[in-house]
């Protein structure tokens, strides 16, 4: 009896679109399946992308797409507000000064999702 081959994929989903390309979806932190930002020519390419996405999530390197739209300036302000209760007043002032004098002028208006190591290195060199 010929049946459908059971997928060995245990993370995310891949489906073939009418165009012949493949779309992937992966579970976000809330359990909702989110689509990849692009489609793939082959199912193998889609599977590879899902494997990389899973590793990214497991290693804590995944950035939520909505969170990625946050600017460095806004994120720095949230970070400072979150860590301030544990810091001495002088340390808080020092961090605030560094953020305002070095980080915000170079990178403050950039969205988190656009940052790459080279972007930060170039920003720091200014």
By residue count, the chain amounts to 126
pLDDT for 1: 46
Whole-number mean pLDDT of the chain?
84
Note if the pTM is more than 0.85: no
Q: Which residues of 26-65 are buried (b: 16+ CB within 10 A; e: fewer)?
A: beeeeeeebebeebbeeeebbbebbeebbeeeeeeebeee
Pick 5 or 23 by higher pLDDT. 23
Reported as a pLDDT band with limits 50, 70 and 90, residue 44 is: very high
Cα 17 versus chain centre, distance: 25
Which whole number is the average pLDDT over 9-38? 87
pLDDT at 5: 53
């Amino acid at each position: 009896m010929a049946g459908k081959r059971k997928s060995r994929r245990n993370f995310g989903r891949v489906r073939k679109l009418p165009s012949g390309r493949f779309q992937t979806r992966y579970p976000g932190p809330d359990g909702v399946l989110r689509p990849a930002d692009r489609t793939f020519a082959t199912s193998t390419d889609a599977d590879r992308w899902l494997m990389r996405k899973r590793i990214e999530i497991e290693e804590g390197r995944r950035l939520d797409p909505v969170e990625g739209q946050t600017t460095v300036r806004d994120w720095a302000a949230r970070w400072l507000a979150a860590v301030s209760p544990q810091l001495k007043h002088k340390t808080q002032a020092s961090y605030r000064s560094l953020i305002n004098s070095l980080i915000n002028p170079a990178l403050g208006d950039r969205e988190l999702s656009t940052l790459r190591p080279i972007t930060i290195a170039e920003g720091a060199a200014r």
